[in-house]
């Protein structure tokens, strides 16, 4: 390695003599940083999405590599948001990759003091049994005046504003067929 | 708006750049105030006084857009002789102090027949109204329940001079809302009030329009529905509805809270704002429609919308012979809203609970009430991404710390099921402007995480399998349900597009419907939500349209799909005058093209395409045929915007200023202190602070921060957001800090009749003490995002609130209540209970408790 080459790799020298006197670009690059690229550049695909926080409905581009979300950016095509995201929308990569996210079923038995593990299939089956039982216990055919009610007050549901239309539709449809009138969501508060 | 909907706020700034005046009326000085032309500090809970003052200013100075008002509103209609506006009393005719409810019969129009309103309370006052309707129909030769019966038109005075015409009734109602009077109620100067009044009236008319933007600051009140009504009256008088740059814009706070109202996971609605049926003797489909649907206007087709829904749900089992399975729908008997449900949980009258992406232990008013509800259940299913407080209440809730509850005594069986996030499933959100936008699945959900579509589909499938073969009549609706969506992938995920297609609907040949006007009441069409019909037009997912905004005009009609019929501005017929010409070139939006014989413009006209402005309905016309070519408000029975609402509201035909239930001052405008028709829950765990209490002398209000989201489940668990806003705090003025010895960045304890919480103190000029009459009112600001779990912790602000509700929509008054504030941290453990009890004793409030 000649002295000129060695000197040329010294950032201070390049900053003082080159076109980057403030040291914000080429002057301070090393072979390692020169090889770095944005993680959006090597995504396998970019999937169109919508921000999950408030109801403005900003467009999001979801960058995926090896089956994992690597970055979420604002979608410049959206006439709603023109590529912008707020602090929450900008943090949605950390929402979907959160290390504290719970990804297995947790079960607390009556009067229990700790969480336990439970198989998902078993859990859904237990829930189905409890729905059938609560539905019967809370069933009302008529009221005291003989008016037909044909409903149950045995159980209820809360939530929907964070879900998809298709999901809300299935919840309402199933609850109506069960006779369960007590369905509510964030729009009530 | 800059704080809670920052990306939407870019359009306000665009408008400002083009010369718009931005006025911010808010108790707090926020990032919105910082860039507004004018910030008006204001007392929380005084909005109807403020809006009523503006209505008074418009009427007193005859600044209404007269041609718009006479063309499009009910200003000229004559109110019946029986109606009495109590004026100074603040009560209208029909009030029963025994029940605390109104009978609205005396509010009706002269010569008109009761018609179901387009929204709100429909057959709420049964059976009296139905009898009234029947009697009147008999008088006029018609018969109740006869579909052919067309209502008589109310009498009118188009000069607006008749003393009982709506215009004059309104003018008298707001006569006492003078600039001086309302400025005093609101805590602003008369000059400030007049500056706003002049700005909005100058900026309304042919050439200009004014928009009002609100959020839960207007809905979280015992008079919340009337807040919105007051804005509607003002905007209608000024001609700002159905026109570009006008309107009353609700900024909603969740990604699909609009969608979950349209396709309602709400007890009182069916999809598309069809009311849930109430229990009546001998109720069949026809008597339901007679009571709940107007005969004229587009609600005249409620039969087609409802029958199509019943066909979507029960398919071949819904036949003309069985009223299309109308009896399969369960019936209501009053308020089954969320607070009533939680009261019933505490009373052990209801046993199971699904929490789906909602965290009431932090996010709902009166957190103790919420957690007591959870602790009295038999079973609880929580579906979320993070371990939220509503799932772990039995282990680490505040009531465990105080000793009110013991983990070993709580019998609730808890299932925590992880859910998929927004990148792990496909589906539509409906944003705050009614725009449906499809998201595409990017990755598969990890571990046991599943979409709600997966969970509810397979839960329903299992329940149906377990009950298969049942001969019990009550299981028929479940076993006859159409529940056979195609599935894909290793987890048998239901196909969300198949659900969207069902919502859109099909004709008799199985073709996708393209418009709700194709729906029929004879059972030949199906559709799960009539206002969404068209979203799957031609078998194409219209919500997935993504033509870049840069390649479209400013309406951007080819991005996503807006209900109804992809219309971007509702009631836009009103953007043209009676003859169908734009009010001005500058404000042209849709107009009548006489050469083509159709409506046209920048948006899809919200009117029958070929109905000319000159159309007048023939005698006895039904549905939309009964509306004239000038009746822009097509969902209303009379096609008019209602300045006076003869039906639909539980607490009066015109908005009236009442103080919040917990107010530090007396009502300066009326004798009636607070909403006489409000709903209460009288329990030991829901004690209320007395009005004008010396023990609880300060007003507090809750709000959101830019860096957090609602109850924190999607923000307090994230590193960046927790770093940006790491701690619960309260905002107080320097004057209040001096009065109570509070130190900036020190601790404060806030006390109500419910509990006491602690917060870091932020002393800031952003909070201004206000003078109301001879009283100085201090307001305290509280962000409500915190709880005990996640990366950043704090006491939940909502624990400080009690529950008292609006009678129309059963929403709690959480944007204004009272408290005391003291320096230092709150007591721990059982000492906290005694501390709160001692304040209750001092205030003369009954003891608290868990029952």
Q: List the structure tokens of B134.
A: 């029947």
Q: How far apart are CA B480 and CA B451, in angstroms?
A: 25
* Min distance A33 CA to chain B CA atoms (Å): 24
Residues 6+ apart with CB under 8 A from B307: B285, B318, B324, B519, B520, B521, B522, B523
Residue identified by tokens 């069902």 is: B502
Nearest to B798 by CA among B657, B665, B678, B686: B686
pLDDT band, residue B142 (cuts 50/70/90): very low
Q: How many domains does chain B have?
A: 2
Considering the domain boundaries, does residue A175 fall inside one? yes
pLDDT band, residue B152 (cuts 50/70/90): low
Whether residues A124 and A179 fall in one domain: yes
Considering the domain boundaries, does residue A65 fall inside one? yes
Q: Considering only alpha carbons, which residue of chain B is nearest residue A68? A: B443
Q: Which of residues 76-115 of A touch B (CB under 8 A)?
A: 76-82, 84-92, 94-96, 98, 100-111, 113, 115
Residues 6+ apart with CB under 8 A from A5: none
Range with the poorest average pLDDT among A109-118, A130-139, B120-129, B788-797: B120-129
Nearest to A77 by CA among A49, A35, A43, A45: A49
Considering the domain boundaries, does residue A106 fall inside one? no
* Min distance B733 CA to chain A CA atoms (Å): 27
Among B4, B269, B330, B333, the residue to mutate for chain A (most A Cβ within 10 A) = B330
Inter-chain CB proximity B356 and A81 less than 8 Å: no
On the question of pLDDT at B146 being above 90, the answer is: no
Domain containing residue A158: 120-188
The predicted pLDDT at position A3 comes to: 64
Residues of A in contact with B371 (CB under 8 A): none
Residue identified by tokens 């103190």 is: B761
**Does A39 reach chain B within 8 Å, measured CB to CB?**
no
pLDDT band, residue B147 (cuts 50/70/90): very low
Smallest Cβ distance to B707: which of A54, A88, A143?
Answer: A88
CATH value at residue B385: 3.40.50.740
Rounded mean pLDDT, A62-68: 97
Q: What is the ipTM of this complex?
A: 0.96
Whether residues A89 and A148 fall in one domain: no
CATH value at residue A50: 2.20.25.90
Considering the domain boundaries, does residue B166 fall inside one? no
Domain containing residue B700: 679-843
Total number of residues shown for chain B: 851
pLDDT in tens, B189-228: 999 999 999 999 999 999 999 999 999 999 999 999 999 9
Whether residues A163 and A183 fall in one domain: yes
Considering the domain boundaries, does residue B293 fall inside one? no
Considering the domain boundaries, does residue A149 fall inside one? yes
Considering the domain boundaries, does residue A107 fall inside one? no
Considering the domain boundaries, does residue A17 fall inside one? yes
pLDDT in tens, B503-536: 999 999 999 999 999 999 999 999 999 999 999 9
Strand partners, B39: B24
SS3 content of chain B, % helix, strand, coil (to 5): 30, 15, 55
Q: How far apart are CA B406 and CA B408, in angstroms?
A: 5
pLDDT band, residue A2 (cuts 50/70/90): low
pLDDT in tens, B332-358: 999 999 999 999 999 999 999 999 999
Q: How many domains does chain A have?
A: 3
Residues 6+ apart with CB under 8 A from A112: none
pLDDT band, residue B129 (cuts 50/70/90): low
Q: How far apart are CA B652 and CA B486, in angstroms?
A: 49
Among B5, B130, B214, B255, the residue to mutate for chain A (most A Cβ within 10 A) = B255
Rounded mean pLDDT, B813-825: 98
Strand partners, A46: A63
Q: How far apart are CA B505 and CA B509, in angstroms?
A: 11
Considering the domain boundaries, does residue B838 fall inside one? yes
Residue identified by tokens 């309602």 is: B264
Q: List the structure tokens of A6.
A: 């060695």
Considering the domain boundaries, does residue A148 fall inside one? yes
Q: How far apart are CA B442 and CA A42, in angstroms?
A: 16
pLDDT band, residue B276 (cuts 50/70/90): very high
Smallest Cβ distance to B254: which of A101, A141, A162?
Answer: A162
pLDDT band, residue B126 (cuts 50/70/90): low
CATH value at residue B698: 2.40.40.20
Q: Give the helix/strand (H/E) hosting A127.
A: helix A120-137
Considering the domain boundaries, does residue A21 fall inside one? yes
pLDDT band, residue B683 (cuts 50/70/90): very high
More confident residue, B122 or A3: B122
Inter-chain CB proximity A158 and B708 less than 8 Å: no
pLDDT mean across residues, chain A: 94
């Amino acid at each position: 390695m000649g002295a000129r080459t060695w000197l040329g790799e010294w950032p201070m020298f390049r900053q003082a003599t080159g076109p980057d006197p403030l040291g914000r670009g080429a002057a301070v690059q090393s072979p390692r940083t020169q090889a770095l690229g944005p993680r959006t550049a090597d995504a396998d695909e970019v999937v169109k999405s919508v921000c999950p926080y408030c109801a403005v409905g900003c467009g999001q581009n979801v960058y995926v590599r090896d089956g994992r979300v690597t970055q979420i950016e604002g979608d410049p095509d959206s006439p709603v948001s023109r590529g912008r995201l707020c602090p929450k929308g900008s943090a949605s990569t950390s929402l979907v990759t959160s290390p504290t996210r719970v990804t297995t079923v947790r079960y607390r038995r009556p009067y229990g003091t700790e969480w336990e593990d439970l198989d998902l299939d078993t859990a859904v089956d237990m829930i189905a049994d409890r729905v059938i039982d609560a539905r019967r216990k809370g069933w009302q055919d008529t009221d005291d005046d003989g008016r037909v009610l044909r409903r149950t007050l045995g159980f209820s549901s809360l939530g929907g504003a964070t879900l998809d239309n298709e999901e809300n539709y299935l919840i309402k449809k199933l609850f109506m067929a069960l006779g369960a009138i007590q369905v509510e969501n964030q729009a009530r508060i | 708006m800059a704080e809670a909907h920052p990306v939407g706020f870019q359009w306000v700034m665009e408008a400002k750049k083009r010369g718009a005046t931005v006025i911010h009326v808010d108790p707090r000085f926020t990032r919105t105030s910082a860039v507004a032309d004018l910030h008006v500090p204001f007392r929380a809970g005084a909005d109807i006084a403020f809006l009523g003052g503006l209505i008074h200013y418009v009427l007193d100075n005859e600044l209404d857009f007269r041609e718009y008002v006479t063309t499009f509103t009910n200003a000229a209609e004559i109110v019946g002789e029986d109606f009495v506006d109590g004026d100074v009393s603040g009560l209208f005719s029909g009030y029963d102090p025994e029940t605390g409810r109104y009978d609205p019969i005396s509010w009706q129009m002269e010569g008109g027949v009761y018609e179901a309103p387009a929204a709100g309370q429909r057959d709420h006052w049964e059976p009296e109204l139905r009898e009234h309707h029947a009697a009147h129909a008999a008088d006029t030769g018609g018969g109740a329940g006869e579909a052919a019966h067309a209502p008589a038109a109310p009498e009118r005075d188009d000069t607006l001079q008749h003393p009982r015409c709506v215009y004059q009734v309104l003018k008298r109602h707001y006569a006492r809302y003078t600039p001086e009077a309302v400025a005093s109620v609101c805590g602003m100067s008369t000059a400030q009030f007049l500056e706003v009044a002049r700005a909005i009236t100058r900026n309304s008319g042919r050439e200009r329009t004014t928009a009002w933007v609100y959020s839960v600051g207007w809905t979280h009140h015992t008079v919340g529905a009337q807040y919105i009504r007051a804005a509607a009256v003002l905007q209608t008088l000024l001609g700002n509805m159905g026109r570009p740059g006008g309107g009353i814009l609700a900024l909603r706070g969740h990604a699909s809270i609009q969608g979950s109202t349209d396709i309602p996971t709400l007890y009182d609605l069916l999809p598309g704002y069809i009311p849930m049926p109430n229990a009546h003797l001998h109720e069949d489909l026809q008597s339901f429609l007679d009571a709940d649907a107007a005969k004229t206007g587009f609600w005249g087709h409620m039969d087609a919308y409802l029958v199509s829904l019943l066909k979507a749900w029960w398919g071949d089992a819904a036949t003309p012979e069985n009223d299309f399975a109308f009896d399969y729908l369960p019936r209501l008997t009053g308020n089954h809203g969320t607070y009533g449900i939680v009261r019933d949980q505490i009373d052990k009258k209801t046993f199971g609970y699904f929490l789906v992406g909602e965290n009431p232990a932090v996010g709902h008013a009166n957190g103790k009430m919420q957690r007591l509800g959870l602790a009295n259940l038999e079973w609880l299913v929580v579906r979320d991404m993070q371990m939220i407080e509503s799932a772990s209440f039995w282990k680490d809730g505040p009531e465990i710390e105080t000793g009110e509850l013991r983990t070993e005594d709580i019998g609730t069986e808890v299932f925590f099921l992880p859910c998929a996030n927004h990148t792990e499933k496909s589906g539509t959100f409906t944003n705050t402007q009614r725009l449906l936008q499809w998201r595409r699945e990017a990755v598969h959900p990890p571990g046991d995480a599943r979409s709600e579509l997966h969970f509810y589909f397979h839960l329903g499938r299992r329940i149906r399998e377990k009950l298969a073969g049942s001969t019990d009549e009550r299981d028929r609706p479940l076993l006859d349900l159409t529940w056979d969506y195609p599935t894909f992938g290793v987890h048998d995920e239901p196909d969300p597009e198949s659900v969207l297609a069902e919502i859109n609907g099909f004709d008799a040949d199985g073709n996708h419907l393209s418009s709700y006007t194709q729906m029929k009441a004879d059972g030949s069409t199906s559709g799960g939500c009539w206002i969404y019909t068209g979203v799957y037009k031609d078998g194409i997912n219209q919500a997935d349209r993504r033509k870049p905004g840069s390649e479209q005009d400013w309406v951007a009609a080819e991005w996503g799909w807006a209900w109804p019929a992809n219309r971007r501005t509702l009631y836009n017929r009103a953007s043209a005058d009676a003859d169908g010409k734009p009010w001005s070139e500058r404000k042209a939006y849709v107009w009548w093209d006489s050469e083509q014989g159709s409506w046209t413009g920048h948006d899809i006209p919200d009117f029958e395409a070929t109905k000319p402005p000159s159309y007048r309905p023939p005698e006895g016309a039904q549905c939309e045929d009964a509306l004239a070519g000038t009746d822009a408000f097509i969902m209303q029975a009379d096609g008019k915007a209602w300045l006076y609402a003869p039906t639909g509201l539980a607490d009066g035909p015109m908005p009236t200023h009442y103080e919040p239930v917990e107010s530090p001052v007396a009502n300066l405008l009326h004798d009636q202190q607070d909403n006489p028709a409000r709903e209460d829950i009288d329990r030991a765990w829901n004690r209320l602070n007395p009005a004008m209490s010396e023990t609880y002398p300060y007003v507090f209000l809750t709000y959101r921060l830019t860096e957090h989201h609602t109850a924190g489940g999607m923000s307090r668990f994230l590193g960046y957001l927790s770093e940006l806003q790491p701690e619960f705090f309260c905002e107080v003025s320097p004057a209040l800090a001096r009065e109570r010895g509070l130190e900036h960045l020190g601790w404060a304890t806030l006390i109500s009749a419910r509990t006491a919480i602690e917060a870091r103190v932020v002393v800031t000029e952003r909070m201004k003490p206000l003078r109301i009459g001879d009283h100085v009112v201090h307001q305290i600001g509280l962000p409500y995002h915190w709880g005990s779990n996640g990366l950043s912790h704090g006491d939940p602000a909502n624990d400080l609130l009690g529950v008292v509700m609006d009678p129309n929509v059963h929403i709690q008054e959480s944007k204004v209540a009272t408290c005391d504030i003291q320096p230092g941290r709150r007591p721990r453990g059982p000492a906290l209970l005694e501390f709160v009890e001692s304040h209750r004793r001092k205030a003369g409030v009954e003891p608290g408790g868990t029952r």
